[in-house]
Amino acid sequence: MDPHLQAGVTSALLERIVSPLLDNALRYARSHVTVRAARQPDGVRIDVTDDGSGVPPSFAEQLFQPGRRADPTDGHGGAGLGLPLARRLARSAGGEVTYNAEHTSGAGFVVILPAG
């Protein structure tokens, strides 16, 4: 890992973008959550993955719609606002938050932010 990796956003904004992803991963993981950060040619990539049950394929298109949850009766808290907020904040900084459907053993999300 690069000890000098720096995104082009404030630490407070970085926390507001990544926190909802971490909260969800911790909420749904069976045993572990992984966070990886790496330099990209035009910025920084942060992957947040867990080994939980994952996102139902039928719900993947709705992940970033405010107020939507795959299973509101699953016993986990939340109002379905974290992912839309994370994406909106990342986009406001010239970045993006996406769902990584290729991550098959749980859920995976990718944050791309401009370089600092």
Element (H, E) at 17: helix 11-28
Both tokens assigned to 88: 């909106």
Q: pLDDT of 79-100, one tens digit each?
A: 567 899 999 999 999 999 999 9
DSSP letter at 115 equals B
Half-sphere exposure of 12 (CA within 13 A, CB side): 0
Residue 28 clears pLDDT 60, i.e. is over it: yes
Q: Which domains occur in the chain, in start order? A: 11-114 (3.30.565.10)
Confidence class of residue 60 from pLDDT cuts 50, 70 and 90? confident
Q: What is the pTM of this model?
A: 0.87
* Cα 87 from Cα 114, distance rounded (Å): 14
